[in-house]
Chain A
Amino acid sequence: MEFKYIALIACVVLGIVLLFFEYRRKNRSYLYARLAATVLLVICLALLIFPVQYEVKEVSNGHSINLLTTGTSKDQVLATGVSSFTTDPGLYQTLKKSRVKYITDLIYYLSDHPEIRHINVYGYGLSLEEIRQLNKYTLSFHPPKAPSGIVSASWNNKLKSTEFLQVQGTFSNQANKTVKFYLEGFGTRLDSLTVPGGKNINFSFRDQPKQTGLAVYRLVAIAGNDTIAKEPVPFEVKPDAPGAILMLSSAPDFEFKFLKDWLFDHQYPLMLRNRISKDKFSTDFLNTPVVKLERLNTAQLQKTALLIIDEDEFTALGAGEREAVDRASSRGMGLLIRASSGDQKKLQEFSLHTENIPSLKDQEIVPELKNDTYRFSALPAGQTSFIKPASDYKMLVQTKAGKGLVSSRINGSGTLLYSVIPTTYNWVLDGKKSDYTVFWSSIIAAGIRKTTESFSYETQTSFPVISEKLTLNLEVADTKKMPQVSINQKSWSPSQHPQFDSSWQVSGWSGQSGWNTIAVNGNQSAFYVYDNTDWNSARYIKRLNFNNKLINNQNGSPSASKAPDFAKEDLSLWWFYAGFLLSAGFLWYESKNQEQNG
């Protein structure tokens, strides 16, 4: 039994006993007064043991603190007045003189001071985790001026060999000085621009990285002799793995021959089948083992990344072969049909609509890539058939006048390409190799079967920093069992996404800035963890934005803290002590008096 009840029973028993004796006393003078005094005595004793509590209405406005975070300016500190706190030791050092108090742990401090209900946040704000922990409090945010420097930047951090690195973002120059801003890598200045004072500039730097593997470029901003920013731009270049290409031609021609040579030069595994007579083929196997190619089959097509075929050969395919090609195409294989005959009826079989414009016969064809500014030189005149635009087709290449030359259509997970250009090898003959390369590169890249990675990952924040918790979201192909994740040769435990069984998440502390290795089921990759000083401006802007958003959201919704709050307070024990003393004193004095009288 609890002490509470024992004490209560004891008090009741004591009260009854005392009352009994008072009642039974022979001298019955002051009987009622004595009885009342006894009751009061016992009650006071009981209340001494169990103090009385009462509820008071909370006065919320009186208890708020100012919390200063990084980026608080001196003026702001002066404006905040007295009770200002900070958890940032660096900030504390600089603002020491302004009577700012330092607290090591905010949550701990707040639980020590329950009267605090409201927090004014100054500076760039709190981390997401900290804001979540402060959900019981009302917050108000007083952001400073936006930071200057590289306020945002992004780049393609996973490249394939020969691809271009493109770094884009915004540079905000709030000072009056002109800033020299450049991208630097491998000891060389790669691309640069100047930012005049007081201006915001969107920048876009481009470079073709020459390494395979990991590298860190740097974005450097220099004002006069001061380096105002030097931010790492980490990225990885993976070696190219060319996919297998199969070419079927109804007759030996130069277009296929040149394309074959070009692909062979770039080390593509390649099969070329030329029909030379009825059911007779001449076949070339380049960088691939020799197989039977008289009839196409599903197994063969599954290994093929791109099938290039001319329209005559396509119509000559048997029904079974067509079925196989269609199935393979819908499962991801690229299919390029060279439809240069201009025979509209035949083309309608492929649901491709073309138009015949004989007036363009004498005009040279100058192809243009959509979404690219590359300028091709002209191809010989003579072409009259062009692709008509249609809703389910995407035009890849067209003439200057907007007549379609190459278009693509989605077929399942594969891509279907049609080209009505009769010849492109003229570029090679004219010595314009780069035209040929750019043309075929973009067309093949648009169609070729995509490679599937064994796993992919991304960091939760775009600039993971060493001092913050690291969270990685993983996508893993094998959904049957839990993936073995290790970062820097230490194994981490992932947690699965409740809905998507291929999504996993790991979080923890990487403990090492720079490149960190990650291995998932034995497949290695690397990600970059930044130092605390890297990308300051960009990170502060991000923090400012989400603080603004979160704190404004919180203030907008009627939170629980808005309801009238009651706090319990103890009634002072002195009152009961006094009552006890008085009643006991009366009883004592009365009995003494009776004895003297009696």
Chain B
Amino acid sequence: MDRQEGRNKIENLRLKWQMLVFADRFCISLLFALPLSAAFMHFFGLGNWVLLLFVVLSFISCSLFKPFWKISTHDVARFLNISHPELEESSGLLLQETSQLNTLQLFQQQKVAETLSGIKVQILSGNTIIRLSAYLLTGVLLFISIPYLKSGNVSGLPGTAEQNSHGIARGQGLPPQLNRIQVQIIPPAYTGVSSRKQNQLSIKAENGAILRWEMQTSIPVKHFKFIFNDKEKINLQSENGEGKSWTLSRKMVKPGFYQIEMDGKKSDLYQVELIADRPVVIQITQPKPHTTIDFGEAKKVNMKVSLDDDYGIQNAYISATLASGKGEGVSFTEKKLVFNTSFNAQKSMKLQKELDLNALGMKPGDELYFFVAATDNYGQASRSDVYFVSIADTTELMSLAGMTSGVNLVPEYFRSQRQIIMDTEKLLSEQSKITVQQFKTRSNDLGTDQKLLRMRYGKFLGEESETEIGGGHDHDEEGHDHEEGHSHGKEPEKTAAFGDVQAIMDSYAHKHDIAEDATFFEPEVKSRLKAVLTEMWSSELKLRTYQPQEALPFAYKALRLLKDLQQKSRAFVAKTTVKVSQLKEEKRFSGELDKIGQPVMEQKKVKADQRDEVLKKGLSYLETYKTASKIDAGATANFWEMEKYLVVSAVDHPDTYLPALRAIRELRSGTSVKQPLIDRIQKAVRKMLEQEVTVPQAGSDLPSSDLYQQYFNQLKKDLR
């Protein structure tokens, strides 16, 4: 064997050695990287990329400690010299060029080359293999086992669930063989909400949404069931019969809860909460619920409405009913008024509409009732309160009906107001025929009349009266008592009898509002009278400023209020025509009654439902179970009963009662930490029991009442 062969062998060995070191570094780096990345993925919820990152990083850092690429042929030669003494420390000679060697070295090179060919060099020993495979095994074992560790910080909280690399929500009491869960929530189309996916099994969805569960198990499962509300069981068929992937679609119209059962193993309970669609909320900001349009006011009503819905408004309109006529001749006409806007399923709208009462055909005295109705895009209809608009009827005010009969508490001044209105209208109609001066004089005269009228009413309220204008008018009554007493000097002894202190004082005093007069009417009547006076004031103002046209509305309003006042003070008694035959007193109670039976009724009230009793007792049993280690048979039976009622409640309100239902099941499975579970159940049960009204309870006496009774009897005896 020549030198070249020896050199090839060394080169060969170098390659092998490099590969061995490479494998060694790789195994060690895996030993660090696998557990570390598993821990990061599990506790911090990071993705798969962590694994790659850690492997690369640790491999680089391991290799830097022992760089395999730096292994040279000289290293191999040195290794050979050490491990094989028969090479006489000369294997390095093989690597040197023959030309540079002296004779002795050449001889040695020859010899070494021959020796080397006879040597079987072993780089990979059994120990190394064992060592490396031990590294690898440990790393892989740690990698697998870490996800099974209980993550200490978060999983204890209810409702939170972290996800591991497979995107599955853990910490929900799931069977471990479930690999992947995805719930797709497809809300109904009208809501306009897009479908969404989640990994949690507790679901909050729109009413009528379609839920689609997709699940994958790591091992084949034979029976896969969904149990809804503890009653309805649905068997799932796996896709392609492998027993590994499962799907279920279901439209949810009722809230509740469900449970997954895999080969008889039941999971925790998960709630399905449904968000119900609200009907449209209608708010009318204008007009007020009752509006009266008086004479002279524009016969128009401006309407402002705001609408609100959670998914969208489909339509809205005004439904108006017109009531016209009087008494038996009332007729109703219904009309549907639309808003001049288009509805594009907006969520909130502000609408405006002007109701033209003339266009609706409303005459004075008619009333209009209206409300706003709206539908949302789910088809739920809602409507507002009913609003009223009425037009005051001036002709009705002018009529004498109702004044000719009945008690006329307020004297006949109404006619004056009526007269003023009639005169004003007459003046207006004659305006074109008469001169301006005449018009003004007549208007002023009317104003004076209006003032007098006002003052007369003012007297009822005990107001100060004036005398300057129209002083000669009917002041024969006690009117002069209220005159201003400024006539001090003018023969006071004439009006006051001699020695009449009151009269003398009156003549000197300046009397303002006289309280005695003010007590003639009830406060309510007085306040109405005051309102009348205000209108009269305004009417007078307009008349005196020669604007009779503008005075009319006030005059009409004054008349209407007066009329109301008059109507108020009236009482109606219906006529009856019943004739009763005379009773014969001596025959009363003398009939024969022996054949008349006596009715006897018997009834028993049995509470059909034991719910309250069971729950009430259950609360107490739970309380004792907090400290006791065991519960007796009665309590166990009670717990079963209580669970039934909890299920019923949980179906209706899963978000409130499902935690309690979970707790009662967990409690039955026998756990060491009872207190928080029991608290949760008690809280729910307490909520299920309604507030009770106090019912009469008998007090209780001490048991030794015999003694007291004797004492009492003795006292009684002594008293006699």
A residues whose Cβ falls under 8 Å from a Cβ of B: 160-164, 186-188, 208, 210-216, 237, 240-243, 264-267, 276-287, 290, 305, 412-413, 433-434, 437-438, 440-445, 448-456, 475-477, 479, 500-503, 514-515
Q: How far is the CB of A278 from chain B (nearest CB, A)?
A: 5
Query: Chain A: which residue is nearest B688 at the CB level?
Result: A210
* Interface presence of B315 (CB below 8 A): no
B683/A186 in contact, CB under 8 A: yes
Contact assessment for A285 and B602 in the assembled complex, using a CB-CB cutoff below 8 Å: yes
Q: Among B618, B679, B681, B698, which residue has the most Cβ atoms of chain A within 10 A?
A: B698
Q: Are A502 and B703 in contact (CB under 8 A)?
A: yes
Q: Would A267 and B605 count as touching, CB distance under 8 A?
A: yes
Task: Establish whether residues B700 and A187, one from each chain, have CB atoms under 8 Å apart when the complex forms.
Answer: no
Q: Is B694 an interface residue (CB 8 A)?
A: yes
Are B624 and A208 in contact, with the CB atoms below 8 A? no
Select from chain A the residue with minimum beta-carbon distance to B709: A413
**Any chain A CB within 8 A of the CB of B680?**
yes
Q: How far is the CA of A76 from the CA of B310 in the complex (A)?
A: 71
Q: With contacts A187-B680, A213-B621, A479-B704 known, what are 7 further pairs, Cβ within 8 A? A: A213-B624, A241-B698, A242-B696, A441-B694, A453-B700, A501-B707, A502-B704
Q: Is B574 an interface residue (CB 8 A)?
A: no
- Residue B579 CB within 8 A of the other chain: no
Bound: A402/B702 CA distance, A: 35
Give 18 CB contacts A-B under 8 Å.
A188-B683, A213-B619, A214-B620, A215-B619, A215-B623, A264-B603, A267-B607, A285-B603, A286-B603, A433-B693, A437-B693, A443-B696, A449-B698, A450-B701, A456-B703, A477-B704, A477-B705, A503-B704
- Given A267-B605, A287-B605: A515 in contact with B624 (beta carbons within 8 A): yes
- Rounded to whole angstroms, the CA-CA distance of A163 and B696 in the bound complex is 9
Chain A residue nearest to B687 in the complex (CB): A188
B158 in contact (CB, < 8 A): no
Whether the pair A438, B604 counts as a contact (CB closer than 8 A) is no
Determine, out of B127-135, B430-438, B474-482, B592-600, the stretch whose residues face the partner at the interface: B592-600
**A452 pairs with B700, CB closer than 8 A:** yes
Q: How far is the CB of B399 from chain A (nearest CB, A)?
A: 35
Taking a contact as CB atoms under 8 Å apart, the answer to whether A285 and B694 are in contact is no
Chain B 666-709 per-residue mask, 1 if CB under 8 angstroms from chain A, else 0: 00000000000011111101100101111111111111111111
Distance in angstroms between the alpha carbons of A75 and B235 in the assembled complex: 76
Q: Is the CB of B617 within 8 A of A212?
A: yes
Interface flag for B601 (CB, 8 Å): yes
CB proximity of A589 to chain B, nearest CB, Å: 90
Q: Is the CB of B704 within 8 A of A475?
A: yes
Cβ of B190 within 8 Å of any chain A Cβ, yes or no, is no
Report whether B712 and A412 are in contact in the complex, using a CB–CB cutoff of 8 Å: yes
Pair B697/A283 contact, Cβ less than 8 Å: no
Which residue of chain A has its CB nearest to the CB of B604?
Answer: A287
Q: Which of B599, B623, B692, B709 contacts A283 (CB 8 A)?
A: B599
A280 touches B697 (CB 8 A): no
Q: A211-B619, A214-B623, A515-B624 are in contact. Are A162 and B686 (CB under 8 A)?
A: no
Assess whether A453 is in contact with B702, with CB atoms less than 8 Å apart.
yes
Q: Binary interface profile of B, 579-597, with partner A (CB < 8 Å = 1, else 0)? A: 0000000000100010010
Indicate if the CB atoms of A286 and B623 lie closer than 8 Å: no
Query: Complex formed: what's the CA distance from A208 to B686 in Å?
Result: 11
- Distance (whole angstroms) from the CB of B601 to the closest CB of chain A: 4
Q: A240-B697, A452-B700 are in contact. Are A211 and B593 (CB under 8 A)?
A: no
Tell me the minimal C-beta distance from A307 to chain B in angstroms.
Answer: 14
Partner of B694, one of A163, A186, A456: A163
Which residues of chain B have C-beta atoms less than 8 A from A160's C-beta?
697
A452 in complex: contacting residue of B598, B627, B705, B716, CB < 8 Å: B705
Question: Is B616 engaged at the interface, CB distance under 8 Å to the other chain?
Answer: yes
**What are the residues of chain B within 8 A of A413 when measuring CB–CB?**
708-709, 712
CB proximity of B713 to chain A, nearest CB, Å: 10
A455–B623 Cα distance when bound, in Å, is 25
- Least CB distance from A526 to B in Å reads 10
Mark B620-645 against chain A: 1 for CB-CB distance below 8 A, else 0. 11011011000000000000000000
In order of increasing CB-CB distance, the 9 nearest A-B pairs are A213-B620, A187-B679, A502-B704, A211-B619, A186-B682, A187-B683, A444-B696, A477-B703, A160-B697
Chain B residues positioned under 8 Å from A515 (CB to CB): 624, 627
The minimal Cβ–Cβ distance linking A214 to chain B, given in whole angstroms, is 5
Supposing A188-B683, A287-B605, A290-B600 touch, asked if A445 and B697 sit within 8 A by C-beta, the answer is: yes
Chain B residues contacting A162 (CB-CB under 8 Å) are 692-695, 697
* Interchain CB contact under 8 A, B698 and A208: no
Instruction: Give chain A residues whose Cβ lies under 8 Å from the Cβ of B679.
Output: 186-187
How many Å from the CB of B15 to the closest CB on chain A? 68
Contact call B603/A445, Cβ cutoff below 8 A: no
- Neighbour of B703 across the interface among A243, A280, A437, A452, CB < 8 A: A452
Residues of B within 8 A of A164 (CB): 694
A549 to chain B, nearest CB (A): 29
B709 — which chain A residues lie within 8 A by C-beta? Answer: 413
Complexed CA–CA distance, A501 and B706 (Å): 11
Which B residues touch A264, using CB under 8 A? 603, 605
Is the beta-carbon distance between A453 and B712 smaller than 8 angstroms? no
Q: Report A445 CB to chain B, min CB distance, Å.
A: 4
Question: In the complex, which of the residues B589, B689, B702, B712 has the most CB atoms of chain A within 10 Å of its own CB atom?
Answer: B702
Q: How far is the CB of B602 from chain A (nearest CB, A)?
A: 5
Chain B residue nearest in CB terms to A282? B599
What separation, in Å, do the CA atoms of A413 and B706 have in the docked complex?
A: 12
Contacting residues, chain A, for B621 (C-beta < 8 A): 213
A450 to B703 Cα, complex, angstroms: 11
The answer for the CA separation of A282 and B607 in the assembled complex, in Å, is 26
CA distance A413 to B601 in the complex (A): 33
The answer to whether B697 touches A279, judged by C-beta atoms less than 8 angstroms apart, is no
The docked-state distance in angstroms from the alpha carbon of A441 to that of B680 is 34
- Please measure, in the bound complex, the distance between the C-alpha atom of A186 and the C-alpha atom of B618, giving whole angstroms: 11
Asked if B593 and A445 sit within 8 Å, CB to CB, the answer is no
Tell me if B589 and A278 are in contact (CB < 8 A): yes
Cβ of B245 to closest chain A Cβ, rounded Å: 41
Contact of A211 among B599, B620, B698 (CB under 8 A): B620
- Known interface pairs A216-B623, A267-B605; A445-B698 also in contact (CB < 8 Å): yes
Rounded to whole angstroms, the CA-CA distance of A529 and B710 in the bound complex is 36
- The residue in B598, B601, B678, B699 that gathers the most chain A C-beta atoms within 10 A of its C-beta is B598
CB nearest to B682 among chain A residues: A186
Output the least CB separation between B465 and chain A (Å): 35
Residues of B within 8 A of A265 (CB): 605
Cβ A283 vs Cβ B598 within 8 A: yes
B603 touches A455 (CB 8 A): no
Partner of B616, one of A211, A290, A444, A455: A211
**Known: A186-B679, A277-B593, A503-B704. Contact between A214 and B692, CB under 8 A?**
no
Chain B, residue nearest A444 (CB): B696
- B707, A502: Cβ atoms closer than 8 Å: yes
CB distance B703 to A187 under 8 Å? Answer: no
Q: Are A281 and B598 in contact (CB under 8 A)?
A: yes
Q: Which residue from chain B places its CB closest to the CB of A266 in the assembled complex?
A: B695
Interface centre among B613, B696, B704 (most CB of A within 10 A): B696
Minimal Cβ-Cβ distance residue in A for B600: A283
Chain A contacts for B700, CB-based, 8 A: 450-453
Check B624–A214 contact: CB distance below 8 A.
Answer: yes
Instruction: Output the nearest chain A residue to B705 by Cβ-Cβ distance.
Output: A452
- Could you tell me the distance between the alpha carbons of A160 and B694 in the complex, rounded to whole angstroms? 10
Task: Note all chain A residues with C-beta closer than 8 A to B618.
Answer: 211
A213 and B698 contact, CB distance less than 8 A? no
Alpha-carbon distance between A286 and B601 when the two chains are bound, in angstroms: 8
Q: Is the CB of A280 within 8 A of B704?
A: no
- How far apart are A118's CB and chain B's nearest CB, in angstroms? 45
Q: Give chain A nearest CB distance to B98 CB in angstroms.
A: 87
Q: Cβ of A279: which chain B residues have Cβ within 8 Å of it?
A: 593
In contact, A438 and B603 (Cβ under 8 angstroms): no
- How far, in angstroms, from A456 to B679 measured CA to CA in the complex? 32
Shortest Cβ distance from residue B110 to the other chain A in the assembled complex, whole angstroms: 89
Residues of A contacting B702 with CB < 8 Å? Answer: 452-453, 456, 475
CA–CA, A216 and B618, complex, Å: 14
Q: How far is it, in angstroms, between the C-alpha of A278 and the C-alpha of B593 when the chains are bound? A: 8
Assembly CA distance A214 to B681 (angstroms): 16
